Each structure stands twice: as C-alpha cells, then as structure tokens.
Amino acid sequence: VDECAEGRARCAHRCVNTPGSFSCACSPGFELGADGRQCYRIEMEIVDSCRDGNGGCSHHCEHTAAGPRCSCDHGHRLGTDSKTCTEVDECETGESCCSQFCINYAGGYECACKAGFQLSADGCSCDDVDECRLDNGNCDHFCVNSLGSYECACKEGYRLGDDRWACVAFPTDLKSDFGTGIFTDPGILGAQLEPCLNVARVELRAVRGSKGKFRNAHFAAPLVLNRRLCLGDTFGQDCSLRCEDCLHGGRCNSERSGCVCPPGRAGLICNETCPPGTFGRGCASVCRCQNGGSCDPGTGQCHCPPGVQGRLCEDGCPKGFFGKNCNKPCNCANKGHCHRLYGACLCDPGLYGRFCHLTCPRWAFGAGCSEECQCVKEHTLECSPRNGSCSCQPGYHGKKCQKECSPGFYGAGCKLRCSCPPDVPCDLETGACKHPCPAGFHGEKCHLSCQPGSFGMGCRERCSCGGAPCDPKTGQCVCPAGKTGATCEQDCPDGQWGPDCQNSCEPCANGGQCNRETGACDCPPGYTGPSCSATCPDGHYGPSCLALCSCGSSAQCHHVTGECSCAPGWTGHHCQLPCSSGRWGRRCACSCQPGFTGQHCQLRCPEGSFGPSCESSCQCQNGAACDHVSGACTCTAGWTGTFCERACPDGFFGIDCHQVCKCKNAAGCDHVLGSCHCLPGWLGDTCEQPCQGSSYGPGCRNTCHCHHGALCHHVTGTCLCSPGWRGATCQEACPPGWYGAQCLQRCLCHGQATCDPVSGECQCPQGWTGTACELECGDGQFGEGCEHNCSCHHGVCDLPSGKCLCHAGWTGDRCDVACPPGFFGKRCEERCDCAHGWSCHPQSGACHCQRGWRGRHCDKPCLPGRYGVGCAQRCRCPPGMPCHHLTGACGCPPGFAGLGCEKTCPPGTYGQDCHGVCQCSAENQECHPVTGHCSCSPGYHGAHCHLRCPKGTYGSNCQNPCKCLNGGHCDPVSGTCDCAPGFIGANCSKTCPESRYGKDCAQFCACGKGQCDPRTGECSCAPGHTGAACQQVCPQGRYGPSCQLTCACQNGGICDSVDGSCTCGLGWTGRSCEKAECLPGKYGAGCSLDCPCQHNGTCDRFTGCCHCPQGFYGHSCEHRCPLGFYGLGCLHTCACKNGASCDAVTGQCLCPLGYHGVHCEKGCDRGWFGESCQHQCDCGDAPCDPETGKCLCPPGKTGDKCDVGCRPDRYGPGCSLRCQCSGRSRCNPHNGNCACPASWMGPTCRE
C-alpha cells in the first residue's frame, strides 16, 4: 500500500514510501522531529512576523526574512507607510473603461449608460437602443429611431398630440386649406408647406427622450401621398374595415365611417390603449400623477412606482432623489426612483441591476424581470422587457405571434394584402406570388415529372390506388394484372385474368385454379400438366410434384401425400424395417404366444425380455434370473425383493436371507457370505477384540501420538490425557490457574501463588502461607512459607523479600546505621542544605548552625547585638560600635564591616573599618578586602589582567584546571560546565537517560525498542527492526540486525524477525518447515457416535471428520490458529506490523498499545496514546508515552502532568537526576549546573 499516495502519512514536507510502511523526510535546512512527521529548522526556529496583529498590515501580510510584507485587496492601493490600504476611485482617476457613466464602490467599479443606450457585452461601451423595434415605440403611426432616442410622426391629415405619441386628426377646414401633407406638431401651422410635392419635410421640436425630459431634434420624413374615398359603410386606409371590426367595446359612429372608442381606448378600431399621460374617452384627459406615477387609461387612477404613495403619488420623491427633503441624489441610472429613506434603486418594469441600469435579459420582462415572455420564440423578433408584448416576425401575428398570416395577407403584423391572382398563394414574408406548375409536373421550372404516388397541379395531390401507380395528370389508377376497380382494390372475378381482367381462363382439371395474373392453371398437390390432368410421375409427390419419395424395399409412394405402401414382411414409415421376432405378413400383423419368438414361434425370448412378442423388458437386478413368459425374478444369495433390488436386512445373509449373522460390537455383516465388517477400533472374525496399545481406527491400522502417559481411545484415537495435561496429543500443560484431568478444575491459590497442574497444591510466593496462600507472614517473618525471621532496628521488614525498609535518618541492611554527616531523610538520600552548619537533623534535615549563624539554612548572621552559638549571647560593646557575630569582639577585623561584621568591605575599599581605598587600576583587577593587595579577577591573568583564562582553566590567576568531563567546556570565571550534547550534570559526568538525547538531554528519542545515540539521537535498531526510527519490522523473508539475514522458512512458514526461527503452518514441521506430517484424522462409525468437534465445527456424517470454522484447527477443532495465522484451515498469514497479533477468524490486526492503522503500521501521533491511539494525553505541552500515556517530562519538570518544578536537589528530564552542587550553591533544574554563592567556584561550588 502506498501510504504517501493515499495521503495517510501526514508528513510535514516529503513522504518516502517503503515496502510495508513509509517514512517522512524534510527539506534542506530542516530536521525531522521526535514524532517522525514534523520538520524543524536546524539553526533556530523563526518567529512568524505576521503572527502578531497581522504584522500591522490592513489587508494581507506575508512573512519574509526582512519582516512582514503587506499587500492590498483588488481596488485598493498601498499607502506610503507600506501597511495601510486605501480605496482607489477608478472613476476619479480615469482608470475605468466606462464610455458614459462610472459608478465606484468598495473594491471596484461598475459602468452604466444614458437613457436610450444599453451596456454592451464588454461591460464598458454603450450601444444605442432601437425603441422603434418594440411596439413601434408606442407611436400611433410612424416611429423614427435616433442615437439615444426616437421620434414619432403621423400620416397625412393628422398631427402629433401633446403626449408626443398619439396622432390627432386635423379639423376638416384645415385639411382643405392646407392641402395634403404630414403633420407632427401644432407648431407646424406656421411652417412653409409645399403642397405641390409628394414629400413633406417636418420639423420636430419637443421629442420625448427616455429620460422623461424634452429636447430639440430635427428630421425629415419622406412619405408618398395617396388619398382615397371609401364607399358603402367601409373605412380605413384601404377601405377594408367595417363597423363589426371595432374592438374592446367600440361602436360605429352615426356615419358608419369609423369607431367610437370607450374610455381608455384609441386607434382606428379601438385596438390601442391611451398613450401614457392621457386617459378617458378619446384619451382627452391629462394624467395628474406625480413622481413618475402612471394612470389607468380608462379611469385615470394613479399607479405609483415603488416607494411612492398617495392618491396622486404625491407622497414620495421625484425620480433621481431621496431623503427626508428629497434633496439627496440617487445613483440610479436614468435618474430612476429610489427608496425614500435609504436611496436603494427601485427599478421600473423592464430594468434590473444594482443601479437599474440593465435591461431585462431576452424573454424576461416586468418588475424585477420576474416574468417569462409567452411569445412563440421562433416567430418573434423581440419581447418588450417592460410589459412582455411580442413583436412578430413578418408573416406572423397574434398576441403571442402564434398565428400565420391568413390567406391573402403578408408582412409585419399580416396587415399587407397580397396582390396575386385568385388561387395563387403569396409568400407570407415578402408577398411574392407563387405560380403553380401544370398538372403532372413540379419544381422551380416545372420540368420534373410527378413522383410515383402523386399527381395534379404541382404534384400536390396523392394517388389513392392501394400502392398501384396513377396517371400523373388525372390521378386515374393504372391497375396491375389480376386487379380491377377504381382504386385497384378488387381481384379479377373467377374465369378472368390479366390487366383489367380482360382475358378468359382455360378450364383446369382435378380442382386446379386459374391464375388471375398469368392465366395458367395452378394445380393442387399430386397433379401436373397445363390443365392439371396428369398425376405425379413415379418417385415424386406433393405440390408441383417437386417432393421426392423416400420409400424402401420396392414400396409404392402416394402421389399426393408421399405415404409408403409396404410389401409383406416389411414395416416402418419408409418400409425399411423387417417385422419383429414373432411377427410376419402384411404390416407384420401375425404374432407368437407369450414367451416365444422366431419364424415358427419355436424359440424362447432372448435373455432380458419376456411376454407377448418378447416386447417386455425384464427388471430383475443384481444377477437375478428372469422368467421368459411372466418376467418373475429368482434372486441370488444376499438379495431379496420383487426385482431382487434390496440387500438382506442387517443381521441376515445368504439365499432368501434365511441365515443369521454372528458379528459383535455393532459390526456389519456381509449380506452374501455372512463375513463380519468390524467398526473402527475392533478386530477378530466376529469383531470381539478391541485395538491394543497405541493402535486405533479401521482394522487397528492407525497409530496414536499421545504423550505424557496418556491412553489412546481404540475407536477414535482420541488421547485420554493424565491429570495436568490437555490437547489433542496431551502435549499442552494446564494453563495457569487450572489443574487435574483435562485441566477442568480451577486452582484456589491466591495472588501470585502457582498451582501444581496435577494435584492442584499451591506453591506460595515469598511472604505468603496457608493452604491457598491466603495468609500474609506475621511480624518478623518472611520468605517462602514464612520460615525466615528478620530483624530491622529502625525500620520495617518487607514481607516477600525480607529486606529492611528503613525509617528516615537510618540506613544499612538492618537499619542500624545513622545517616552520615551532610545527609538526611529516607535511605539518607537527601543532602543537607546548610550554609554555615556542622550538620543537619537526620530525619527532618533541620540545620545545626555554627556559632554566629541562624536561620533554617544557617545562612543569616546573628541579629545586631547578638553573637555565639545559637546567637544566645548578648554583645557588651559601646553604642554605635559593631559587635562580631561569631566572637562578640567589639569592632570589626580589617576587611569586614556591618553591625555584626558579617559583610566584606564594599568594592574599592579595604582595611580597618574599610577606610582604605584600593589602588587597582586595571579593568579586570580586584583588591583584597584586608590587605588591599591587587590581584586579577577570576577568569583573567597577566601583568595587567587583560588576558582571558586559557581553555581548560578558570578562577583567580587561572590556577584551577577545568573539571568538566566528556568534552564539556567550563566558564573561565566560575568553572561552571557547559556540557556537550548527550551529557548532563554539574561536571558533565552523566550520559543522557534512556530515550533522551541532545543538548541538556532535552530531545526525545524516536527509536522504538532500539538504542538511541545520546549525542545525535541516531537509532541503533534491535534485531528484527529497521528504519530511521526502528518502527518497521523486517520485511517478509529477512531477519536479524538491520534485517540483513535471509530467512530459511519453507512451505509458507513465518520467519521470526529477531532470530529467524520458523513458525510452521498446518501440516508442516521441522526447523525450516520442510517436513510434511499430517495430523491424524478422526471420524465416527455409522453416524452412531457423537461428533467430537468443538467451537461450532461440523463433522462428516460418514467418517466423523471435523470441518473446523475459521480460526480453529485440530481433530476436534480444539485449537485456535497459531500466532501469525488465521482463516479457514489457518492457511492465511497475518500482515500485521510492529509485533501485533491478528484475529484468528477475520485476520484483522489487534494493535498493541501505542500503534494504530489497518496493519498497525502507524505509531500514535504526538498527544495520543493507548489502544488504537484513542486516548488523549493530559501533559500540557509535554509528550506522553504512546503505550501507557505517562507524561515524558522535559528537563526541570516532574509530576503526573509535568506541571511541577524539580525540588532543589533534583534536575534533568523528569527531575530524575540528583544534583552534585555543594554548600549554599543552587542547582539548575534543567541541566544540573551549579550557581555558586559569592567567594565559591568550581563545577560543584566546592572551591
């Protein structure tokens, strides 16, 4: 399995796959941690400069060797301080790509367009909107598009209304006064008109743009003038409309020359609603709705835009503004409406987007573009995003563009009438006439004849001749021979044949039929010839006499059926079989008496047959004779039954089964001869003798393999073990706690006592006695059976061993030796901590102070005015004069000062009362506090004390040689040791404890059961293990140190990875599993014995052999699979790593503590331990033992959770090492270095 590819390795840097496992590796400059996965810098751990406060950056921080590097989100710029990010207004700086409007927002910008334009696909430029494509721009007559806007124009006789969309008719007198023309504006009355021309030029002022404002524009509208006068109650431009064409409740005027529309409707036939801004009858009333509200075209009721209320929409801001006083401008495109309070854009129907600057996507319309257009898309040019109305392609009309133009109409809206002759269709889109081809032809040039099955003008009609061809011009059917009728659906009448059934048939004999197509006679089977008058020739029969006869032995064949007529003495379907024995004559009709056969019935039936014609078969079995007449059976010896099919019943044999068997011990008897077949375990003519010695089974031919004096069962071969032994061959001793026959009796011994496997007698451990070892030894007694006496003077006796456990303050084998001076406590292991004391109390460690000193550690001088032993004496010195705390003498000796003369002179002074001033000039010199003599400071030497001590020396004038061992370096001033990696202690004399290495032994080894180099942490694996951390067992086939030796196990044996010894599979033995030695089989007799199989094993009903379930083997399935094997027959080898065992049934690995994974190939991650690594360590930052969960404390820490500091006399990992520091010096809890008090030096502060 490649754990690296599957991502199960969880390596920090790189994963290296190995056979059966994997290992982690680090990038250059890093080293692998103790957990085998994490990587750490070799030189030092670099602190992430972005960790605290994001490195001071506003947005993004990236750690570099020079410190944090800041960067900003898109749309922001880094400030001059290289940390702060400020927003960039692309609209102000000109960085945007917008061609018209630019809208800035945090992190970017958005483009928008003026009214009449829409944003193109690139999101930057604006394309003109052709308003005339949608609903003709709401213009009554003509719509003219322009860049960013559009204009409406009217036909002759009309002018443009105030709303700039509707066209209002001129009064009749104006029409006559001004002649013909096109009028668009009331101001046109002052324009110069040219009635002599067919083209009128129009000046447009006040054209509505899509922003809702008016602007000036000019255009010329050329129109061809064409005036008509309608007659006979018709009206309209082409006089095609009548009163019944009026829509939506409109009715005809009194002259029947036009429609009078209801309120809200306009147009020639009331098919249009009032233009926006107007309502009522004739659309004459003007809307008074404010703030962009629209009015109902019929009633004038106001419909307010979003965010606006009131009867006239007066409660709201006008387009483009919001706020309490409507004085804040919106950012909405087209100065659209926005929310009264918040300024959010409220889009008109047909618009969407954050700023309502986007037109609805195609086929969506209405408020929020939430409605789907209902137009038939393939017939539609465009769907209005505002109201969903459909603009149809030429050739289609209807509300949804679902209808084709009616015959005779074409073009946009199907409003144009075709000008083609009657019955000539026109093109729905262009109106071009489609002239038909003459009958019988088709194609663009009418040069192609009609395809079969079609006829008529343009070949558009279909023949109805039942598949027969028809005349391409007239469609008359051309019937094939044998068919007649208008559609060729009738057969020719009897006696007629040929095309149109015009020919008469010749008469046919013997039931022959006249063929309606050819006129020939169709003969019935057995006949031939032109008129079916002849029978089939010899050897032929059947339809058309094509079948060949198959009759043998000169038999005749029937000309119709082919049936054979046999000669006498022959029978069978083809007359090829002679008559059976005992029969003769035509059709073999004559026969013999039962039991006889032959030409003259002179022969008996042959053996195996009997009865009439010897046709019956005998059913006698097992060599019995059969009667040739009746078929009755006569049985041989040992058989009985009607057909001699049954052997003699048990206990009988011989002719007719009349003789009685003499076999014993349930032996079987031969039903023919009466000889005995002994059951397994018995011998003799009558099976009266059991097997003797170590033989058993059928014929006593099998040999038992029972050990330790066990008896062998003469039938099954099962070993009957003596007390103390069990198993198939009695080779297994009773397991601890059991004894007796088959080890079925439980021992009664208590505690660690052992039990005799034969008798069950208890053998007590030291310190216990009694029948069941339930009694502890009495006081002063110990050892086996409590037979020894112990004498401990100042301690108690350990019952099992008899050793004395001494009270505090005593030591020695009998606890009769007091602690030596300077030591106290249990086993006198603790060192006295007394600065100026003779010794300390051997039990409590309390100090006995020398004269002039006091305090728990004798480190404080007597209080002023006191001196002597225990500071018990009072000084008698004059007031103000110091009293020596040791002697009580008045006045201090030279070099000392203080009220008790306990202090040396301050630096720079010396002599009596410290009045002398030192004259030492060099930087590293100090003067003697008594004499003032100058000498070099510790760590320096030379005439001017300017030289540091040479390597290997320290102290005053560098006189002291360093005492650091194992490559440690000493401090030139104090002599304190700095130990090399792998060593620890005051003088570096101790190597790192087990499982620790490196500087101050602070690193954890990751070597599993291997040895770890205390300096480098490099692993030396125990035999059977390999890998950087010794966590991999040897691959299959290898063993020993570094897995360098090759296994010699054969036949699937498992090789011990440590010593190479072989564990053999079933059926194999020998040093290398090279010998085949099958276990003896076991079975019962005649299914009469109980199965001996255990653990739900099944037994063969004939032999009694056990078929064991998965996980078990043995004669009685009494053994679980050996370690390392599992499954059916224990034939499968476990694939578990790290010494794990596997389930004998499923092969699932049962991991030891500290490992997990499918094959137990993974050690616990740091912080986890125990079974399947499911338990979490409770050690704070310290790691824990992956098996037990015990905290592995770093140097200077101890306790169950590594949260307790070392006591003063202990140091190192887990505080396991004893300090070597003397006197009042302090011991460093991490590495054992001694911190010496003033005037003391050396590695252990003893100098």
Q: What is the pLDDT of residue 953?
A: 92
Task: Spell out the domains of the chain, with CATH numbers in brackets.
Answer: 129-227 (2.10.25.10)
- Alpha-carbon Rg for the chain, nearest whole angstrom, is 63
- Mean predicted confidence (pLDDT) in 466-483: 85
Q: What is the pLDDT of residue 799?
A: 66
Q: What is the pLDDT of residue 860?
A: 87
Render pLDDT for 347-373 as a digit per residue (tens, 0 to 9): 878 888 878 888 888 889 988 888 899
Q: What is the pLDDT of residue 375?
A: 92
Render pLDDT for 1138-1193 as a digit per residue (tens, 0 to 9): 878 888 888 888 888 888 888 888 888 888 888 888 888 988 888 888 888 888 88
Render pLDDT for 808-821 as a digit per residue (tens, 0 to 9): 889 988 888 889 88
Q: Does the pLDDT value for residue 221 go beyond 60? A: no
Q: Does the pLDDT value for residue 204 go beyond 50? A: no
- Mean predicted confidence (pLDDT) in 581-599: 73
* Distant-in-sequence contacts of 1135-1140, Cβ < 8 A, 24+ apart: 1135/1159, 1136/1160, 1137/20, 1137/21, 1137/1032, 1137/1033, 1137/1161, 1138/1031, 1138/1033, 1138/1163, 1139/1033
pLDDT band at 1089 (very low <50, low <70, confident <90, very high): low
pLDDT band at 1067 (very low <50, low <70, confident <90, very high): low
Question: pTM here?
Answer: 0.34
Q: What is the pLDDT of residue 335?
A: 65
Task: Please list the alpha-helical segments (H only) found in 348-470.
Answer: none
Mean pLDDT (the chain) is 81
Under 8 Å between Cβ of 1040 and 1024: yes
DSSP state of 1080: P
Residue 666, by phi and psi: left (phi above 0), alpha (psi -120 to 50) or beta?
left
Q: State how far the Cα of 851 lies from the Cα of 809, in Å rounded to an integer.
A: 25
Please, which residues have CB within 8 angstroms of residue 1181's CB and are 6 or more apart in sequence? none
Q: State how far the Cα of 912 lies from the Cα of 918, in Å rounded to an integer.
A: 13
Q: Where are the beta strands (DSSP E) in 1164-1221?
A: 1168-1169, 1175-1176, 1197-1198, 1204-1205, 1210-1211, 1217-1218
Please, which residues have CB within 8 angstroms of residue 749's CB and are 6 or more apart in sequence? 755, 762, 763, 764, 772, 773
233-242, 377-386, 660-669, range with the lowest pLDDT:
233-242
If you write DSSP's letter for every residue of 1109-1128 in order, what string do you get? PTTEESTTS-EEPPTTEESG
1093 to 535, 718, 726, 1115: CA distances (angstroms):
86, 12, 16, 7
Q: What SS3 state is found at 176?
A: helix
441-445, 665-669, 684-688, 1212-1216, range with the lowest pLDDT:
441-445
Who wins on pLDDT, 215 or 398? 398
Token pair listed for 955: 């102290």
Under 8 Å between Cβ of 1221 and 1234: yes
Under 8 Å between Cβ of 1061 and 1085: no
Under 8 Å between Cβ of 350 and 336: no
Q: What is the pLDDT of residue 1103?
A: 64
Helix, strand and coil content of the chain, in percent to the nearest 5, comes to 10, 30, 65
Who wins on pLDDT, 219 or 726? 726
Q: Does the pLDDT value for residue 857 go beyond 70? A: yes
Position of tokens 């009333």?
A: 285
Q: Does the pLDDT value for residue 179 go beyond 50? A: no
- Mean predicted confidence (pLDDT) in 390-396: 90
- Mean predicted confidence (pLDDT) in 826-849: 83
pLDDT band at 107 (very low <50, low <70, confident <90, very high): low
Render pLDDT for 699-709 as a digit per residue (tens, 0 to 9): 888 888 888 88
Q: State how far the Cα of 321 lies from the Cα of 328, in Å rounded to an integer.
A: 5
Nearest to 1113 by CA among 1131, 1129, 1094, 1097: 1129
In the chain, the amino acid numbered 681 is G
Q: Does the pLDDT value for residue 181 go beyond 60? A: no
Please, which residues have CB within 8 angstroms of residue 53's CB and are 6 or more apart in sequence? none
Render pLDDT for 630-682 as a digit per residue (tens, 0 to 9): 888 888 999 998 889 999 988 888 888 888 888 888 888 898 888 998 988 88
- Mean predicted confidence (pLDDT) in 519-541: 87
Handedness of CA 700, 703, 704, 708 (dihedral sign): positive
Q: State how far the Cα of 199 lies from the Cα of 301, in Å rounded to an integer.
A: 42
Q: State how far the Cα of 238 lies from the Cα of 614, in Å rounded to an integer.
A: 115
Handedness of CA 787, 789, 795, 801 (dihedral sign): negative
pLDDT band at 1100 (very low <50, low <70, confident <90, very high): low
